[in-house]
Structure formats: C-alpha cells, structure tokens
C-alpha cells in the first residue's frame, strides 16, 4: 500500500481482515500529517454536496454514506477508539438574495436527483440552530448527512491495522512502482503481489505509473474551540456557498475551506483566514467569539472530473483522486478495492476507471 492516509489505512485494515498480508508505506508520519484527512473537516454529506454534473459520484457517495455507520462501529470495536461519528444533518443557508436564489436552485436540483431536502423558513432554520444570524434569507436541511472526526478515524485505523498484523512503515517514500512491487527512495525494493496506490495528491509523483491526472487543490481551514465552561455553539453542520462549519462532539468546530490551485503549497495566508472568518461570522456570529486553536492547509487530490481513480491499471491498483470526498468515500472505496484484490466481483463503476483520461491530451 502506497499511502497511509484514510483511504490507504482503510483498505489495509479491510484487506488484512480478509487474510491478505499488507505493508503500508507512508512518506510522512503515521497517522499521516501530509494526508488530506489530517486537515479535513469530516462531512459525510453526499446530499448537501450533490452536483448535477456528477451523478455517478452522487450514487457512490450515497452508497458510502450508507456504509459509514457500520464502518465506524466495526472500526471502534476493532480499535477500542471513538471515531466521532455524528448523526447531525446539514443546514445549507443563504445570507443575501443571490445566495437565496442559489439555495432555491439547489433544492430543485436535489428533487430532480431524487434526494429531496426540506426547505426551511429562516425562522425554522434558527429554531433548529439558534446560533444562526437573524439575517439569513433561506435555508434547507439535509437530515441524512452525517459527520466524523477524520483524525480520530485515522488514529483508530492505525490501531486496528496493527491489531490485524499490517506492517506500518512511516517515513517510507516510494520512488517507483510496478507489478512486482515498490522501490523506495532509499533504493530498497519491496516485493509485492499487488501494489495499491492511495497516495492522494502525491500519486502523480510516483515513478513507473502512466501519467495520472491527479493534482493538489489547497484548502485552508481553521480549528476553533469554545471557551472553558461554554457549551457547543452548533449542533448541525452549517454550509453556505463557499464554506462550512463542522461541529465536533467535544464542542470544537472546524471552519473551512478555501479552494486554491497552488501546487504543493500548504502555507496559511492572511487572506484565506480573513475570508473564512468574514463569511462564517456573517452567518454564525458566535464563531468570532471562539478560541482559534489552529489554522492549517491541506491538499485535496483532484482529477479533471472530480471523481476518483479506482481499479487496476498497468499492473497496479489505483485508489486515489478522491478530491473533496475522500472521507465520505472511504468505506465504499475500501470495500470495492478489497473485493478487487481478493478476486471477487468488485462492482466499481466504469466512470471511475483510472485510464479514462488516457486519450485526453493536455
């Protein structure tokens, strides 16, 4: 396994559960501080994030969302750790007339896609979530969307992998791969029956592979915490055009996220922090009273059509390019890739075939 982020560890855990001998190579630490999941907010929100152009992705996201409850329960049982799975629903809100029109279009789109949501008057949205500003203009509620704490999931996956005998190698950079195994940056060769690439935004830098159309898309986020003695500010995930607030069980809140094409740069900028706080503060003013614990940036692994690369190609197995949906798509990705590895019918949608961009010249 190349990559010790949430996708790589989940596949390793499930594969070891099916009796496969697995080694995970992660260039950073374990859990990986380089992985997108280290920064991710952890929304499991296929309905709130549905896009008319991405129907295969919506179906895949709904499939994965339905698996998350069992996945979380099994992982907690295997690791003994809480993964912060929350049955909280998402509120999508608008603060002006343009955004209210956008919310109307989004409600109609979900009706057409067969995933209807509940339109709410602003007063009803504020009854559900009293921290919302009185000035919000429109809202809808997606009650089936959930959330999880991605760092807690990765910690639990590490423990669960160890308990199932997975070999975990941190600081282990893979230079190139092929059907017979992986060669490390140190020159060491690791023989393997199958190599799985779950290296996120770094997948395109691994030698021996065809040109992978995966690029990093930077996201800046803030980690906020309630003052001592104060209760949680939010019960629901709150989203708007351009951002979101995701509450954790302990009262902390993650505020995200920018979308920036800046290569492998992960610096946090004053503009990024300003825009996040400005927008969140207009919708949920209490956010500005919270303690700022950290400002961080991560790299989403994006593909040209925003869908992942899943399946066998040129002698290796790809499980990367999950862009904004890596945490949501973890259970279904792990199940389908493990089915492929053990030779069962895997049912991976051809829309996610890793070679689908091979004839597209850039």
Q: Residue 316 corresponds to which tokens in the numbers above?
A: 């290796």
* Residue 310 binds to ligand GLY (criterion: CB under 6 A): no
Out of 8, 84, 219, 321, which residue is the one contacting ligand GLY (CB under 6 A)? 219
Helix (H) or strand (E) holding 273: helix 270-283
* Residue 3 binds to ligand GLY (criterion: CB under 6 A): no
Q: Output 132 or 254, the one with its CB closest to ligand GLY.
A: 254
Instruction: Please give the angle made by the CA atoms of 19, 23 and 26, to the nearest 5 degrees.
Output: 145
Chain position whose Cβ is nearest to ligand GLY:
324
Shortest Å, Cβ 142 to ligand GLY: 14
Hey, which bits of 268-332 come out as E strands?
Answer: 291-302, 309-313, 316-320
Q: What share of the chain is helix, strand, coil (3-state, %, to 5)?
A: 35, 25, 40
**Pattern 17-46, ligand GLY, x by CB under 6 A:** --------------------------x---
* Residue 126 binds to ligand GLY (criterion: CB under 6 A): no
Q: Residue 219 corresponds to which tokens in the numbers above?
A: 């996201």
Shortest Å, Cβ 133 to ligand GLY: 22
Out of 27, 110, 215, 300, which residue is the one contacting ligand GLY (CB under 6 A)? 300
Q: What is the DSSP string of 158-185?
A: HHHHHHTT-EEEES--EEEEETTEEEET
Q: Output 248 or 300, the one with its CB closest to ligand GLY.
A: 300
Q: Output 236 or 300, the one with its CB closest to ligand GLY.
A: 300
* Residue 256 binds to ligand GLY (criterion: CB under 6 A): yes
Out of 324, 334, 340, 357, which residue is the one contacting ligand GLY (CB under 6 A)? 324
Out of 72, 93, 117, 257, which residue is the one contacting ligand GLY (CB under 6 A)? 257
* Residue 15 binds to ligand GLY (criterion: CB under 6 A): no
Q: Residue 126 corresponds to which tokens in the numbers above?
A: 């504020």
Q: Which residue has the tokens 């199932």?
A: 164
* Residue 198 binds to ligand GLY (criterion: CB under 6 A): no
**d(C-alpha 208, C-alpha 216), whole Å:** 20
Instruction: Please give the angle made by the CA atoms of 323, 195 and 18, to the nearest 5 degrees.
Output: 95
**d(C-alpha 104, C-alpha 206), whole Å:** 44
**Contacting residues toward ligand GLY, per CB under 6 A:** 43, 219, 256-257, 300, 324
């Amino acid at each position: 396994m190349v990559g010790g982020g949430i996708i790589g560890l989940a596949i390793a855990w499930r594969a070891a559960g099916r009796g496969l001998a697995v080694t995970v190579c992660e260039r950073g630490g374990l859990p990986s501080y380089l992985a997108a999941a280290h920064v991710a907010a952890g929304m499991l929100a296929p309905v709130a994030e549905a896009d008319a152009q991405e129907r295969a992705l919506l179906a895949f996201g709904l499939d994965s969302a339905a698996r998350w409850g069992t996945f979380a329960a099994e992982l907690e049982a295997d690791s003994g750790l809480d993964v912060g799975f929350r049955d909280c629903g998402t509120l999508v809100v608008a603060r002006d007339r343009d955004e209210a029109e956008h919310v109307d279009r989004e409600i109609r789109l979900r009706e057409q896609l067969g995933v209807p949501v509940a339109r709410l008057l602003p007063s009803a949205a504020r009854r559900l979530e009293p921290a919302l500003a009185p000035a919000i203009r429109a809202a809808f509620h997606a009650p089936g969307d959930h959330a999880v704490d991605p760092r807690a999931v990765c910690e639990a996956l590490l423990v669960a992998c160890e308990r199932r005998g997975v070999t975990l190698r941190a600081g282990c950079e893979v230079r190139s791969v092929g059907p017979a195994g992986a060669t490390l940056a140190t020159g060491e060769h690791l023989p393997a029956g199958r190599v799985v690439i779950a290296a996120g935004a770094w997948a395109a830098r691994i030698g021996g592979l065809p040109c992978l159309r995966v690029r990093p898309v930077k996201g800046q986020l803030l980690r906020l915490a309630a003052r001592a003695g104060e209760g949680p500010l939010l019960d629901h995930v709150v989203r708007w055009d351009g951002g979101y607030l995701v509450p954790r069980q302990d009262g902390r809140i993650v505020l995200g996220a920018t979308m920036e094409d800046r290569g492998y740069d992960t610096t946090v900028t004053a503009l990024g922090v300003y825009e996040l706080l400005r927008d969140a503060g207009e919708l949920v003013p209490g956010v500005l009273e919270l303690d700022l614990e950290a400002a961080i940036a991560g790299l989403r692994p994006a593909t040209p059509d925003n869908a992942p690369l899943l399946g066998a190609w040129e002698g290796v197995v790809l499980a990367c390019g999950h862009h904004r949906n890596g945490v949501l798509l973890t259970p279904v990705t792990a199940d389908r890739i493990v089915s492929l590895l053990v030779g069962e019918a895997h049912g991976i949608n051809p829309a996610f075939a890793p070679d689908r961009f091979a004839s597209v010249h850039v």
